[in-house]
């Protein structure tokens, strides 16, 4: 049945274009993340400077999210996506200019790089609200578990190839070519999203004003214990458990590898996630989904604990791959929860709340990693974060019966 649904989903032309466009967009973003992280650390040699990258993303993304969610429920979501990826394309072009000698004052200028990341954070705030809500309009509701798994697999495939390609390009050809490829991928992303047919703007069933609608997503989430528990679990797990921001330090100072090693480290979680995503595409988690979610987040925390202790490059790659397997399961289940429990006229606002909970925790987690690494040391900070993640799982599992008992059957 799952396999049959999988093929039916891929026959939907708009969804195929969405999947390809998002693949190119994520791949470009991942290439950019590797190159920016390596450049910043190469210039500053300061862990806190890596955390500031996350802070420059989260401030605009967090600040714009509620507004973006309300807009996504009142304006064409396709238009929002096209505008946001156009802005990201300009950001890619700007980073390319900063890596060239065209304007000497901008070459290697960390302030300029942080400023560009800030602007990209604004665009990603709008994407966080519009991408999930737009995807839900492309397929019938009974296919949501399959599309969550398939979209997650495509995302992870891009997250595998992007960092690996970014590291290789930077190591052998420099930042200029890496940013050029990033820009080309953003243009391809825009092309495929432009092929998707426009979808109707959701009908608003109440007469609330635009201002009052800004908080509608939060009100809806806080009234739904399953949504609130799932988002909170993922938020705190990512906030404390992620070590992505510190990977340039692990690659350079602990594991003694170059930019290509950093690319492999960043790609490894996505290798594991892509493999798991392929399995879940055919076998989406339906029965005991809540318990599976809790176990997967605990597995992620344990993997990060082992990564912090590892001093071997190849062992670290394997551990990060397992962390990606566990993370993929939690992401797919959370995505299915959001799609299943949210009415169409609330999708943009709930997606914006989800991006605040989850998306912001990625960037705040990067800042937290930079600060704790500065105060405690790199390895102790990763171990501390992993232990906090395990504590969050125990607390959530104990307090949220609705999440523990969740089934999609």
pLDDT in tens, 299-333: 998 998 898 888 888 998 999 999 888 888 888 88
Residue 38 has which token pair? 């390596």
pLDDT in tens, 28-48: 988 888 888 878 877 777 777
CA nearest neighbour of 164 among 61, 260, 95: 260
238 contacts 392 by C-beta, under 8 angstroms: no
Residue 1 has pLDDT above 50, yes or no: no
The Cα–Cα gap between 33 and 55 comes to 14
Q: Is the pTM of this model over 0.85?
A: no
Q: What is the pLDDT of residue 83?
A: 94
Q: Read out DSSP for 95-123? A: HHHHHSSSSGGGTT-HHHHHHHHHHHHHH
User: What is the SS3 assignment for 387?
Assistant: helix
153 contacts 288 by C-beta, under 8 angstroms: no
Strands (DSSP E) along 34-165, which ranges?
A: none
CA angle at residue 28 from 75 to 389, to 5 degrees? 85
Phi and psi, residue 92, nearest 5°: -60, -45
Buried-state track 227-240, b at ≥16 Cβ within 10 A, e below 16: bbbbbbbbbbbbbb
373 contacts 46 by C-beta, under 8 angstroms: no
Average pLDDT over residues 9-35: 89
Residue 308, number of CB atoms within 10 A of its CB? 23
Binned at pLDDT 50, 70 and 90, residue 396 comes out as confident
Whose tokens are 């480290």? That residue is 265
User: What is the SS3 assignment for 287?
Assistant: coil
User: What is the SS3 assignment for 315?
Assistant: helix
The Cα–Cα gap between 190 and 181 comes to 14
């Amino acid at each position: 049945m799952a396999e049959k649904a999988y093929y039916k989903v891929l026959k939907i032309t708009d969804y195929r274009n969405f999947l390809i466009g998002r693949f190119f967009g994520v791949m470009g973003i991942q290439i950019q993340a590797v190159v920016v992280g390596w450049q910043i650390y190469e210039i500053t040699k300061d862990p806190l400077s890596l955390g500031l990258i996350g802070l420059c993303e989260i401030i605009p993304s967090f600040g714009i999210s509620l507004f973006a969610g309300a807009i996504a429920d009142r304006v064409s979501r396709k238009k929002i996506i096209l505008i946001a990826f156009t802005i990201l394309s300009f950001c890619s072009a700007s980073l390319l200019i900063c890596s060239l000698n065209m304007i000497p004052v901008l070459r290697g200028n960390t302030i300029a790089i942080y400023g560009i990341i800030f602007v990209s954070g604004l665009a990603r705030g709008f994407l966080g609200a519009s991408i999930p809500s737009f995807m839900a309009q492309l397929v019938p509701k009974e296919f949501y578990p399959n599309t969550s798994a398939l979209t997650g697999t495509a995302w992870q495939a891009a997250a595998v190839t992007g960092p690996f390609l970014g590291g290789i390009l930077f190591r052998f050809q420099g930042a200029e070519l890496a940013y050029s490829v990033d820009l080309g991928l953003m243009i391809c992303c825009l092309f495929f999203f432009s092929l998707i047919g426009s979808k109707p703007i959701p009908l608003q069933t109440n007469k609330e004003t635009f201002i009052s609608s800004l908080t509608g997503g939060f009100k809806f989430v806080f009234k739904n214990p399953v949504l609130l528990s799932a988002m909170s679990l993922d938020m705190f797990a990512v906030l404390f458990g992620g070590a992505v921001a510190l990977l340039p330090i692990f690659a350079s100072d602990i594991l003694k590898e170059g930019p290509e090693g950093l690319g492999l480290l960043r790609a490894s979680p996505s290798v594991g996630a892509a493999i798991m995503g392929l399995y879940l595409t055919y076998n989406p988690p339906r029965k005991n989904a809540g318990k599976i979610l809790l176990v997967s987040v605990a597995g992620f925390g344990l993997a990060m604990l082992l990564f912090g202790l590892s001093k071997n490059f190849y062992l670290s790659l394997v551990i990060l791959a397992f962390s990606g397997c566990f993370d993929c399961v939690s992401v797919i289940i959370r995505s299915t929860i959001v799609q299943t429990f949210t009415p169409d006229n609330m999708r943009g606002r709930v997606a914006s709340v989800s991006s605040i909970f989850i998306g912001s925790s990625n960037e705040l987690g990067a800042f937290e990693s930079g600060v704790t690494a500065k105060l405690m040391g790199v390895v102790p900070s990763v171990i501390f974060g992993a232990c906090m993640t395990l504590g969050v799982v125990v607390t959530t599992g104990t307090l949220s019966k609705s999440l523990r008992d969740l089934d999609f059957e």
